[in-house]
Structure 1
Amino acid sequence: MSRSRRLLEACAEPMERAVAMRFAEEVRTGVVGDQAYADYLAIEASFVETAARLHGLAVWDAPGRLAMERNARAVHALTTEQTAYFGAAQAAWPVQARPDAARRAAILSQFALASAREGGYPAVMTVLFAAESLYLTWCTRAFREGRVPPGPVADWVAMHTAKPFRDGVDALAHEVDALPAGVPDELLTRWFAGMLGAEIAFHDAVYT
């Protein structure tokens, strides 16, 4: 069994809790409120900047050319397709985010950056693999059920089920598989599960 698969199995319980978080369920069932999604657009745009910075750090620390290219493609996607989405969605959305939305949801960036400082490249790959695996899982469920509200919400869900995103998750899995054996599985599990916990708190912030 690959290391990334072992990690997913070890963190199956926190993953299921994250997939079932209130925001994901409201998107899946088509009942997410205008204010909650407005706040989400603000906080997610902020975290996408953090993710781009983390992938940029990973380009510098990449162990080889393939890893460098994988992380460079991720930076490009985050700073082009996803950035364009937020601009268009925020302009089209009927209400604006509350002024303190990003501050209330800072926990996700804080955890990811603290992990990167602690563990460098292995930590960056692990926390991003956790975040992107979560999004692939809950958005795939939502997309298949077909109850997601049309417009920006449906566009966002579809983006996280499309082939380029799936390829990005696979690339992260390959990087986790290639991490040095000297980095213990227990440490990867702590980073991965901790990121999922931070994701739950991050998304719950749109309701506080």
Structure 2
Amino acid sequence: MTNQRFTDLLREQNHATWEKAVTHRFVQELFGGTIDDSVMASYLIQDYRFLDSFLVLLGAAVSSADSLEPRLRFSQFIGEIAGDENTYFLDAFEALGVTEKQREEIPNTQPTTAFCALMREAADTRNYAAIVAVLLVAEWLYLDWATRDSRPIPKNFVHAEWIRLHDFPEFHERIAFLREELNRVGPSQREVAGDFFHRAVEIELAFFDASYAHPITEEKQ
């Protein structure tokens, strides 16, 4: 018998896909400051599409949590997402020359549509373990890639700030909280938590791939 934590077990069960995501070409080029603006613009346009569904998911976490303390934490999280991270997107779009028309008219990629649907599906279950499982993947996988590379932060604001947004003390604390919650409630909901965690990891990898498959080219501007 081992005392392996439930969240460690979930990541281990999805090891191959998780590793492909956190060591993706996108991550390597982001840290190297070499990622093409067309790829970065595509990535951020699609990532910004998650905001509405992500807030729905966080609202479901508030309503489905079983005590006041996690409700307060998730409520604070909502304020943070609506604040600093939203400001970054708007500043990055301006720096990359992404127009409001592009943000509105460029269609979702398949992974974007899939992840928005998964977040809303988890929210609709009102199952706290399912909700936290999706939230954890969306945050923990990003912390993992942001803290693995030892290279200096690139000088380009768009690249540097995206890394910093996923590697600062409060972000570490957020992932620790999400892991504690899933370690607490997940084992009794093993099947549903495992299913939502697995699907979220699969979509995260596909999302990185899609940024290269659908760069924002001159023809689309």
TM-score normalized by the length of structure 1: 0.88
Judged with a 3 Å threshold, the aligned counterparts in structure 2 of structure 1 residues 94 and 180 are, in CA distance, closer, same or farther, namely closer
* Separation of aligned partners in 2, 1:117 and 1:127: 13
- Opposite residue 151 of structure 2, the aligned amino acid is E
Q: 41-50 or 152-161: which moved more?
A: 41-50
What corresponds to 2:172 in structure 1?
166
* Number of aligned residue pairs: 206
In the alignment, is the contact (CA less than 8 A) between 2:56 and 2:123 conserved in 1? Answer: no
What corresponds to 2:163 in structure 1?
157
What corresponds to 1:3 in structure 2?
6
* Separation of aligned partners in 1, 2:127 and 2:206: 24
Structure 1 gap ranges (5+): none
- Counterpart check, 1:89 vs 2:96: no
In the alignment, is the contact (CA less than 8 A) between 1:111 and 1:198 conserved in 2? Answer: no
What corresponds to 1:187 in structure 2?
192
What corresponds to 1:108 in structure 2?
115
- Opposite residue 168 of structure 1, the aligned amino acid is R
Identity level (%): 26
Judged with a 3 Å threshold, the aligned counterparts in structure 2 of structure 1 residues 118 and 60 are, in CA distance, closer, same or farther, namely closer
In the alignment, is the contact (CA less than 8 A) between 1:107 and 1:201 conserved in 2? Answer: no
- Opposite residue 21 of structure 1, the aligned amino acid is H
* Separation of aligned partners in 1, 2:108 and 2:155: 24
* Separation of aligned partners in 1, 2:211 and 2:17: 20
User: Which has the greater radius of gyration?
Assistant: 2
Structure 2 gap ranges (5+): 214-221
Judged with a 3 Å threshold, the aligned counterparts in structure 2 of structure 1 residues 161 and 101 are, in CA distance, closer, same or farther, namely farther
* Separation of aligned partners in 2, 1:44 and 1:84: 14
- CA-to-partner distance for each residue in 1:44-103, whole Å, 9 max, x for gaps? 111133222211111111110111011112111111111111111111224555742535
- Counterpart check, 1:120 vs 2:130: no
What corresponds to 1:145 in structure 2?
151
Judged with a 3 Å threshold, the aligned counterparts in structure 2 of structure 1 residues 110 and 149 are, in CA distance, closer, same or farther, namely farther
In the alignment, is the contact (CA less than 8 A) between 1:133 and 1:169 conserved in 2? Answer: yes
Q: 192-201 or 98-107: which moved more?
A: 98-107
Judged with a 3 Å threshold, the aligned counterparts in structure 2 of structure 1 residues 121 and 28 are, in CA distance, closer, same or farther, namely same
Superposed displacement of residue 24, structure 1: 2.1
Judged with a 3 Å threshold, the aligned counterparts in structure 2 of structure 1 residues 17 and 118 are, in CA distance, closer, same or farther, namely farther
TM-score normalized by the length of structure 2: 0.83
* Separation of aligned partners in 2, 1:40 and 1:137: 18
